[in-house]
Homo-oligomer: A and B are copies of this chain.
Amino acid sequence: MSSEILPESVNNLIEEFSKLPSIGPKTAERLVFYLLKTEDNKTLGEATLKLKDGITKCDTCKNFATKKICGICENPNRTDELICVVSQPLDIVAIEKTGLYKGKYHVLHGFISPIDGIGPDDIEIQSLLDRIDRTKPEEIILATNPNLEGETTALYIVRQLQDSPVKVTKLAHGLPLGGDLEYADQMTLGRALDNRQVF
């Protein structure tokens, strides 16, 4: 569309930005023109190119790491008796922000989704089962997303652990804190009623 109007390098970067999730062509244009006005394109470009340099998966928990074993796994102040299973590394960031969890993690890197052709063998489930077998933790917390794919994945893992002595738990569902009861969706409100607690 704008091939004659804008230099090729500008069109090129607009196109590349547009490929990113949640970035439409208008936003891509705005980002590129911002970069044209500043010096930031060098640092951003370098950082993007170097993104995967030396990045590997932790042997134990499969989180992204720069060493064979990640910082959380080798932290002696965190118990090995608790493993929190999440679908992606960003979920660890979210849980760590609560400051309340002192166990280890296991990153599945995805979820079971037959529609997208993603089966149990395509994500880090076998490594989780092997790890439970080997380290015999007390409890596994399944912290997959509370949606269809997340629940399917959790259910699959529960079934695989049927004959294991490990205790399997999941995150509580209910009204979000600071939320307004009238705006809660009926599924969440129903779950909050079912799981009501004694004062």
Contacts and interface: CB of A to CB of B under 8 A. Distances in A.
Interface of A: 1-2, 4-10, 12-13, 16-17, 19-23, 27, 29-36, 40-55, 63-66, 71-72, 88-90, 92-93, 96-97
Nearest to A8: B66
A21 B9 contact: no
Contact of A33 (B6, B32, B90): B90
A96 B17 CA distance: 22
Secondary structure dominating the interface of A: helix
Contacts of A34: 20-21
Given A21-B31, A48-B45, A51-B13, A66 B7 contact: yes
Contacts of A21: 30-31, 34
A48 B44 contact: yes
Contact of A51 (B36, B46, B51): B36
Nearest to A31: B20
A97 B7 contact: no
B6 A89 contact: yes
Given A6-B89, A21-B31, A45-B46, A97 B1 contact: yes
A20 B47 CA distance: 14
Contacts of A36: 51-52, 55, 64
A9 B53 contact: yes
A163 B53 CA distance: 62
Nearest to A14: B47
